Amino acid sequence: MYIDDCVQGIDKIMHCDDLIATPINLGSSELVSIDTLVSKVEKIADKKLQRSYDLNAPRGVGGRNSDIPSSRKFLIGSLTRR
């Protein structure tokens, strides 16, 4: 998702009376792990971070992505494809 698409989506969500007090996802359906996110930031910043992992810590989910079917109902056709 491009930033202009995100801003346009947020604007539409904020001005939609049907979405008052309704949780809605706005994002990409691309799965992103924390490692992948850190790698992308490292590349942008031209820095390399030392990573350490606590293997005894709770695992949680492997990654995050956005499940956007309800978003599409309100935003369909308004976001730019590149």
Q: Is the dihedral of CA 25, 69, 11, 23 positive or negative?
A: negative
- At residue 43 the predicted structure's pLDDT band, cuts being 50, 70 and 90, is very high
Residue 49 has pLDDT above 70, yes or no: yes
Instruction: Write the single-letter amino acid at 20.
Output: I
* Assessment of whether the complete model's pTM goes beyond 0.75: no
How much of the chain exceeds pLDDT 70, in percent?
73
Segment 8-37 mean pLDDT:
79
Alpha helices in 1-82 (DSSP H): 3-14, 34-45, 69-75
